[in-house]
Structure formats: structure tokens, C-alpha cells
Chains A and B, each alone.
Chain A
């Protein structure tokens, strides 16, 4: 199977899955078996196609006899698109494993929504993502981009009986199109200079620095908006959580990555020479997104919304690494630029794995207990032991602790940032450590966030009846989570295998021999030189297991027994579930420290004892931590647009005569212009 044939197979099976699902309303088994099986084939084919072109120097082009008569569809499979094709394919494959079990509740729901819509738009959404990555001209790119955006709009709106979901979906569609316009304008600048929509012509175009910067700004805004960067992120935590969980996993796990793919393709490949000022913009916005994203995530109690905010943090980390890469490449330190790009790609892979895993886990909890709010969960580790283990691995990976996936990319990013003293500009030398500090703070807060997620949801005592009666999910769902958890461990431990595979991407984009990041053997990761820094995840992994195992063996052979007893309750009798810390309580200290970040609405309702007013009889605390970008950015723009529309609306009188007059004067005006 040649790579390009595999890519065609991936596209064809995604399309076939969409078509088969059309009949799913009448035959629900089609959705659960045929549709997801085809998606599985599609995912595997994409991984095969993607991995097989991760070799330096391979570029496969193809033309599809579709599209406009004078503009055939150009497709291209190179190392960059191969990498993203593989990442998307991997998650599509696991989603195909997960889906059949998960949609069962949709099939048997009392007021069931159209299954055909669910299956068809899932297929089209995935087809769109594959096509974006494969596109080799702006025309296909935009068609595929819109396919991806519109299909995912219908998935977000799938449970449209709730008004909140309709609102979220509309906001999503609106933002996707604002972003789409910016991207289209960005491509137009390039097409204007290149004379054609084909990427090959755009690459060859010579842009003046000003026009290149304008094109960059448009593309950065457009792709960044779709990727969820601060401050244009507010649609993301609204839209991602309301889709079905396997779709949320795909949206957060890979659709954001497809937007980042667009940014990388546009900036590194099409624009030509890199300017370090662009990198600085990406770095600053990236670090801000990372910090604000994780702070917003920390105070959420709705699990899926929390995960969506955490995606903003991770996109911020990736943007920071990309920014560092552009800064170093733009100032002539290509080896460090390569390293920054590797860090970004590594985090893209890692985030796809663990965010997919965590959304699957959130879906598993919702599937078995119908709960989305952390404050209604608790004690699930006893009811869902395997899901708990997988979620623990995912939480550890996203918190960035060694030796799992999230850590390697953060470590690489820090290593690149630490080379700031090599730069000549004093401003950059001073700003890069500051952004590194912001990233360090974000990483530490991410750990707090995921202690909250795992600790409140899975540990402690069940807080509701539903949580008490939760059950383990079926084999397919566990297999999907298990695969991703295995990926989080393997891709973290086998750092050099991963880096060796993605090395061909920077070689293609920055045209530089491998930086020697992967050392001589698979054990050592020495990005700059072995004297400067080294990390060996395999040895760390073995050492942790060895020390823990040895101490366990040594201590367990002693003649001591283990028995169960009551926990300490200060002598007041039984501990009950209401005495536990809640999710709100857990994050309250940090919420208080960083209070200016949110629009906080705190409400304390204190009831005094009727006869003895010095005694508090009951106390109720409510907090709403709202996203400031709503009131500061979205609402002003929204009112402005509405006001403008009302002004323009004045010319609509409703009388046919006025409209005829308008047409007449327009015609006159045009005639005047032509002559």
C-alpha cells in the first residue's frame, strides 16, 4: 500500500462512513457497527500513510479531478502533513473504538436526536480534517476547512433541545467564520503575489516584509482563533463540552491541532523567510494563553468545560514553543529553531493523546453516572477501577510530570528558552525568561488542576446516588482509553524514537540536518550537547519502578499486618460524604490569590440561629468565576455590530418603490464608474 493510496483509503472510508450513516435513523446498528468500523479503517489508513512519509525528502503529490475546470484539486503528502495525518488518524482510530459503546445511550435515549446526523457529520468532520492536512492549494484548503467547521457545528448542535447548546453552536459557527475570513484574506495576500492558489506558487512568491507581516498577522489571527488562543478563545469552552464526548475528544484533541497545522504550514512553508518579531508575538500570546487557560480551567467544576479550558493552556504551550522556534530561526540560530519546532510537535502529539484520553474518560463517567459536575462525583475509583487507572495516567501526563509524555515537550521548551542569552537583542533576552516563568507557573497550576479532577471525581466518597451506582464501561471504551494511556507512557518513555520520527518535519521546513537531539542511543536525550542538558526517560522509568518495587519487597516481608479501621473524624462519629472537600473548595485558595483574573461573583448566605444569633445555623457559599474576555471583548464588539446593523437597517423601508430607486441609483453609479 503506497502512502498516497493509504491516504485515499482514509478519505474514502471517512466518506463511506458518512454515507452509510445516512440510514442510521432507520437501522441504528449501522451507526454502531458499520459507521464506526469504517472510521476505524480510515484512522488506521491515515496513520499508515502519515508514518510512512516521516522520512526526510519524501514528497508525494497528486491531483484530483474535482473542483473548478481550471483548478484541479492538488493534494500533497509530505513530512509535515504526514505527521498531522498520523496524529489525527490515531485519535480517529481510538474514537472508532470508543464510539459504539458511547453512542448506545444515544440510541436508547427517550427523546432521541437524529442518529443519521450524528454519524454523517462525524464522517464529514473527519474527512474535512484529513483533507485540510493533505491540501496543496488554497482552494482545497478552504473547502476542507469549511467542511470541518460546518460539520463540527452540527455535532456541537447535536443535542439542540437545550437552548444553551444552540447558543454555543451558533457562537462556534460565527467564530469559525470570522477565523475563516482572516485565513482566506491571508491566503489572498499570498495568492496576489504568487498569482495562483496553488501552494507551490505561493512558496515561490517574493513578499515585501510589510506584506509578509500582514499575511502573517491575518493567518495568526485566523488559525489562532480556531486553535483557541487568548483573548479570542471564548467560543471554545462553550462549544467543545456540549458535543458528544467522542466528538469533544476529536475537537479538542485534533481539530485544534489541524488549526496549528495551518499556522505551521502558512508560516514556515508558504511565507518563506521568518521574522523574529512574529515569533515574539506568538511567544507572548502563547504564554498568556497558557497561564490564563489553566487558571480558567482550575476554577471550573464541569469536567468537560474544565478540559476545554485546559486545551487553551496546551495550545498556549505549543504556541510558545513555536514562537521560540521562529525567534531563534529568524535570528539565525537554526539549530535551536529546529529544537523549538520539535518541542511544539512533540506537545501536539502528546496533547492529542492525553486530551483525547481525558475527554473519553469524562464521557465514560457521563455514560455510567450521567454526571458532568465534579461536585456530584466521588469515589469512582472503586466503581470504575480501569477507567480510573487510565484517567490517572492521563492526568499525570497532562500535569507534565516525568516520565510521561507531557514532560518531554515542556522540558524541551524550557531548554530552548534557556538559550536566550545567545540572542543579541536585549529585549528578547529579558522577555524570554519572563515567558519561561509564566510557563513554569502554568505547569504548576496544571498539576493542581488535575489533582482536583482526579481527586474529586475518583477519590473520596461518592457524593450522589448516581456516583454510588456508577458502573465500569464496556470493553471498546476501555480499550480506547487503554490505548491512549499506553501511548502517554510509551511516547513519554521512548523519547528518542518519537523525536527521530518527527525530526523529518523540521528538516523539511527549516532545512537543517538533525540537531542531534536524539543522542547516540535510544537512552539519552541531549538536545544541545551532553554537557548542557540531558534526560533519559527510559532510565527514569526503570529507576522509579525499581526503587518502588525494592522498597515494597523489603517492607512487605516484615511480619506486620494490615487491617482496616475508621478514618479520623475528631471523635464526632462517622465521616460522611458531605464533610469532604468539594471541587469548589479545592480550588478556592488559588482562586483567591489570582482573583483579578476572573469576574468573580461570590455569594455567602449565612443563616443565624433564631434564639442565639451568635451561632451560625447554616451557611451557603456560591461562586461564579466568569471569563473576563466576555465582558471586555465579546460583548462590546457584539453591541457594536448590532448597533451598526441597526443603522444600516434604516435604509430598509419595506416599500418596493424605495428599493427600485436604490437599484436605479446603483445602476447609475456603476455606469458612471465604468465610463
Chain B
């Protein structure tokens, strides 16, 4: 019992510590693919370390909310990560909060980020907040619907149990899962601010969404927010990997099982990173008002997934 909780803590720390590495990997692969010189795998760690060492500059009229937001965002994102099984199932923390609550944690983080964007009273911050809430308002239902589809099949919203269900039922082709997986991928791209919805590497304020919201952050505050968004990328990728293809995940806490689980998830995340890079390389960034049809399509897919489940897959 105690060791399970300790393991859950350890796995959460792995999320926190591993997320920059995943982003480093994505950046590196992307550079190679676009014929650019690549930074080292550990560049994101260096960036975070640099930001943590820097002094913090606040806008003159920043309120307490602006200073509190990075901590709220960071802890809400870590909580979301703590309930997603990474290496092993039977996660005791998965009982604290289920998949719906995980969506709630991400909504909490977004709520505070959007408020922080409005706090200084610059045009960019407001623009970023407004657009982020638009994307969020359309993306969150998609995420919930994919969660609903999976949990109706597995008859549980507990992520650990749901992954256990997919693992134990083997490689059965479920049409509803196909729809749900595709919808989740589309929404993951939108929610983590990647091309074609948002460009994390842009230098033009007018094309920014996430970056415009956090334009006024510096130093340790910025480090926390960047770190949190890296964890969010890893959470989404792990969800896609383990919910729909949980092969290799450890089912108990013995050393060989855990090793197998670690290797499996590392391989899956690396592969998903490559998929993301290819997607980002072949797509061009969309205009803001092309985003709603994109997310509407994802919403339709997730709804189709749920309907396919209730119509085709449950005996009537």
C-alpha cells in the first residue's frame, strides 16, 4: 500500500522531470527534419534553469493574481499528471481524481492563465486570453467526449482501470476507439498550442495565442509556466499512448515489469514525438477563424465515437 503511493509519487516526479526531455526530443527531431542545426536534448532543462536563476520583472500594475497564477498552473498541471498511469497501472492516485477531474484540473490551469493574461491590461494579453478561451471552450468538450467514449466501453472513468481494461481486452478493433483516438490527437495538438493551431516558436505577437497570454512573465514565473506546459504535452501524449495502446505497461511493481513499462512508454512517447514533428512540418499554421472548423471536426469525431459505442458495441 505504502509502496504503491510512493511509486505514484515517484511517477509524478518522473512526469515533472521527464517532460523537458520529451520537448527536447521533439525539438531535436524537428530540427533534423527541417535541415536545421539541432540543440542538445537537454536544452529545455538549460532554459528552465536559466529562467529560474534570472531576476523577475513584474509590470507596474501586476496584481497578486498575476504572481499567484504560475504556482496554481504548475500545481494543477502536476495534479493532472499524477493521475495518469505512465509506467505502471494500479495507480492509487488515480482514485483521487478520475478522467473528468483531470479535465477539470486542466480547465483550472487555463482559467488562471487566461486571467493572468488580462491582468496587466495590454492588448496582447487580452487577445491571447480571448483566443485561448475560445480554443479551450471548443477543445474541452472534445476531450470530455473521448474520455466518455473510453469510459463507457471500460465502464469506468478511473484512468488506471480504463487502461487496464484496454490492456486485458487485447488488440480488439473498436471503431469507437478509432474515432476517439483521432479526436484526442486533434485536440491534443490544439490544447498544447502546437502547429497548426498555435506556434510555440513564433516571434510575432499577433499570431500568438499561448505566448501572447504569458508575454509579461519573466524569470521564475515564466519558468514555472513553461514547465507546466511541457508537462501538459507529456500528459496528453501519455494519454494517447496508454489509453489506446497500453501494451507493455507494468501491471505490478516488480523490477522487471517496471523496466519493461519504462522502456515501452519511452518508445511510445518517442514515436509519438516523431509523429507530432511530421504533422507540424507538413502543416501550415491556420488563421484563427480556421480553428473552429478544425475543432468542430474533432468534436464530431468524438461524438461519433460515443454514438458508435452505444449503437454498435453494446448489445441491445
Q: Interface on A for B, CB 8 Å cutoff? A: 378-379, 381-382, 392, 396, 399-402, 407, 411, 414-415, 417-418, 420-421, 424, 426, 429-430, 433-434, 436-437, 440-441, 443-445, 447-448, 450-452, 454-456, 459-461, 524, 530-536, 539-540, 543-544, 546-548, 551-552, 555, 558, 560-570, 575, 577, 579-581, 585-590, 592-593
* A548:B75 contact, CB within 8 angstroms: yes
Closest residue of B by beta carbon distance from A523: B96
Task: Assess the B220–A560 pair: CB atoms within 8 A.
Answer: yes
10 A-B pairs besides A401-B107, A420-B152 with CB distance below 8 A are: A382-B63, A417-B148, A433-B148, A434-B303, A448-B137, A451-B118, A536-B96, A548-B74, A562-B219, A563-B57
Which of B31-39, B121-129, B246-254 is the interface stretch? B121-129
The smallest C-beta distance from B74 to any residue of chain A, in angstroms, reads: 6
Q: Is the CB of A455 within 8 A of B129?
A: yes
Check if A579 sits within 8 Å of B123, measured CB to CB.
yes
Contacts A400-B104, A560-B53; A535 near B136 (Cβ below 8 A): no
Known: A580-B123, A581-B126. A447 touches B133 (CB 8 A): yes
Q: Chain A contacts of B58 at CB under 8 A?
A: 562-565
A444, B137: Cβ atoms closer than 8 Å: yes
Is A585 within 8 A of B130, CB to CB?
Answer: yes
Given A440-B140, A589-B130, is A564 in contact with B60 using a C-beta cutoff of 8 Å?
Answer: yes
Q: How far, in whole Å, are A539 and B83 apart by their CA atoms in the complex?
A: 13
- The residue that A459 contacts in the complex, of B118, B292, B302, with Cβ under 8 A, is B118
Q: Are A547 and B75 in contact (CB under 8 A)?
A: yes
User: Closest residue to A587 on the B side, CB-wise?
Assistant: B130
Query: Are A459 and B65 in touch, CB under 8 angstroms?
Result: yes
Bound CA span A305–B214, Å: 31
B105 within 8 A of A: yes
The one of B97, B124, B310 that contacts A568, using a Cβ cutoff of 8 Å: B124
CA–CA, A242 and B104, complex, Å = 34
A361 to chain B, nearest CB (A): 15
Contact of A418 among B55, B56, B151 (CB under 8 A): B151
Q: For residue A537, give the distance in angstroms from its CB to the closest CB of chain B.
A: 9
User: Could you list 8 A-B pairs, sorted by A, with CB under 8 Å?
Assistant: A414-B100, A455-B118, A532-B158, A533-B100, A555-B220, A560-B55, A581-B129, A592-B289
CB contacts (< 8 Å) of A424 on chain B: these are 316
**Which residues from chain A contact B144 at a C-beta distance below 8 Å?**
414, 436-437, 440
Question: Quick one: which of B79, B107, B310 contacts A420, CB cutoff 8 A?
Answer: B310
Are the C-beta atoms of A581 and B118 separated by less than 8 Å? yes
Asked whether B182 is an interface residue with its Cβ less than 8 Å from the other chain, the reply is no
Q: How far is the CA of A569 from the CA of B289 in the complex (A)?
A: 25
B129–A586 CB distance below 8 A: yes
What residues on A are CB-neighbors of B107 within 8 Å? 399-401, 444, 447
Task: Give the residue of A401, A443, A451 whose beta carbon is less than 8 angstroms from that of B133.
Answer: A451
Tell me the minimal C-beta distance from B114 to chain A in angstroms. Answer: 5
Verify if B258 is at the interface (C-beta below 8 Å from A): no
- Given contact pairs A421-B155, A533-B156, A433 touches B216 in the complex (Cβ within 8 A): no
Which chain B positions have C-beta within 8 A of A443?
A: 140-141
Residue of A nearest to B116 (CB): A459
Give Cα A460–Cα B137 distance, bound, in whole angstroms. Answer: 22
Interface status of B72 (Cβ within 8 A of chain A): yes
State whether the Cβ of B7 lies closer than 8 Å to any Cβ in chain A. no
On chain B, the residues within 8 Å of A454 by CB distance are: 115
Find out whether the CB atom of A562 lies under 8 angstroms from the CB atom of B56: yes
List residues of chain A with CB within 8 A of the CB of B79: 540, 543-544, 547
Does A575 lie within 8 Å of B122, measured CB to CB? yes
**Cβ of A448 and Cβ of B133 under 8 Å apart?**
yes
Complex CA distance for A447 and B138, rounded to whole angstroms = 11
- Docked Cα-Cα span, A400 to B110, in Å, equals 13
B119 at interface by CB-CB < 8 Å: yes
CB distance from A426 to the nearest CB of B (A): 5
A532-B156 contact given A441-B141, A551-B224, A592-B289, CB 8 Å threshold: yes
Q: Which of chain B's residues have a CB closer than 8 A to the CB of A551?
A: 71, 74-75, 224
Shortest Cβ gap from A506 to chain B (Å): 22
A555 touches B52 (CB 8 A): yes
Q: How far is the CA of A414 from the CA of B98 in the complex (A)?
A: 12
Q: Mark B141-180, 1 if CB is under 8 A from A, else 0.
A: 1001100100110011110010000000000000000000
Is the pair A426, B311 in contact by a Cβ cutoff of 8 Å? yes
Chain B minimum-CB-distance residue to A429: B310
A593 and B131 alpha carbons, distance in the complex (Å): 12
Residue of B whose beta carbon sits closest to that of A582: B126
Contacts known (A532-B158, A535-B101); A563 close to B75, Cβ less than 8 A: no
**Distance of B150 from chain A, by nearest CB (Å):** 10
Bound together, the chains give a CA A381 to CA B303 distance in angstroms of 41
Q: Which residues of B contact A441 (CB under 8 A)?
A: 137-138, 141
Docked complex Cα distance between A454 and B133 (Å): 13
Contact partners of A567 in chain B: CB under 8 A = 59-61, 120-122, 216
Majority secondary structure of chain B interface residues (helix, strand, loop or mixed): helix
Tell me whether B184 is interfacial, beta carbon within 8 Å: no
When the two chains form their complex, are residues A455 and B134 in contact, meaning their CB atoms are under 8 A apart?
A: no
Q: Complex formed: what's the CA distance from A540 to B299 in Å? A: 29
Whether B54 sits at the interface, judged by CB under 8 Å, is: yes
Bound CA–CA A558/B73 (angstroms): 20
B41 within 8 A of A: no
B302's nearest neighbour on chain A, judged by CB, is A437
| Cβ B134 vs Cβ A593 within 8 A | yes
Q: Which residue of A lies closest to B119 (CB)?
A: A459
A588→B139 CA distance, assembly (Å): 18
Rank and list the top 10 A-B pairs by shortest CB-CB distance, nearest first.
Answer: A581-B126, A460-B121, A547-B75, A455-B118, A444-B140, A461-B121, A448-B133, A440-B141, A567-B59, A548-B71
A433 touches B310 (CB 8 A): yes
A518 to B295, CA, bound (A): 37
Assembly CA distance A588 to B134 (angstroms): 9
Q: Interface centre among A448, A546, A569, A579, by most B CB within 10 Å? A: A448
Q: Mark B67-108, 1 if CB is under 8 A from A, else 0.
A: 000011011101100100000000000011110110011011
Q: Which residues of B contact A566 (CB under 8 A)?
A: 59-60
Closest CB of chain A to B49's CB: distance in Å? 11
- With beta carbons under 8 angstroms apart, the residue of B65, B111, B292 that contacts A399 is B111
B98: A residues at CB distance < 8 A: 533-535
Q: Does B97 contact A536, Cβ atoms closer than 8 Å?
A: yes
Closest to A420 in B: B310
A586 / chain B contacts, CB cutoff of 8 Å: 126, 129-130, 133
In the docked arrangement, what's the CA distance between A392 and B69, Å? 13
CA distance A542 to B79 in the complex (A): 11
Q: How far is the CB of A639 from chain B (nearest CB, A)?
A: 37
> Within 8 Å CB of A461, what residues of B?
61, 121
Residue of A nearest to B54 (CB): A560
For the complex formed, measure the closest distance between the CB of B125 and the CB atoms of chain A, giving whole angstroms. 8
B273-316: which have CB < 8 Å to A? 288-289, 292, 299, 302-303, 306-307, 309-311, 314, 316
The yes or no answer to B205 lying at the interface (CB within 8 A) is yes
- The one of B61, B74, B141, B310 in contact with A444, judged by C-beta atoms closer than 8 angstroms, is B141
The one of B97, B115, B124, B309 in contact with A455, judged by C-beta atoms closer than 8 angstroms, is: B115
User: Given the complex of chains A and B, what is the CA–CA distance between A118 and B306 in angstroms?
Assistant: 53
Residue B272 lies at the interface, judged by CB distance under 8 Å to chain A: no
Residue on B with the closest CB to A589?
B134
Specify which chain A residues have a CB less than 8 angstroms from the CB of B76 in the assembled complex. Answer: 544
- Check B59–A561 contact: CB distance below 8 A: no
Q: Which residues of B contact A445 (CB under 8 A)?
A: 137
CB pair A547 B74 closer than 8 Å: yes
CA distance A558 to B118 in the complex (A): 28
- Which residues of A lie under 8 Å from residue B125 when comparing CB positions? 581
Chain B residues with CB under 8 A of A436: 144-145, 148, 306
Query: Contacts A441-B137, A561-B56, A592-B289 given: A421-B310 contact, CB under 8 Å?
Result: yes
A567 and B111 CA atoms in complex are apart in Å by 22
For B117, list chain A residues within 8 Å (CB).
Answer: 455
User: Is A540 in contact with B101, judged by CB distance below 8 angstroms?
Assistant: yes
Contact with A along B203-222 (1 / 0, CB 8 A): 00100000000011001100
- Given the contacts A421-B152, A441-B137, A548-B71, A581 and B123 also touching, CB distance less than 8 Å: yes
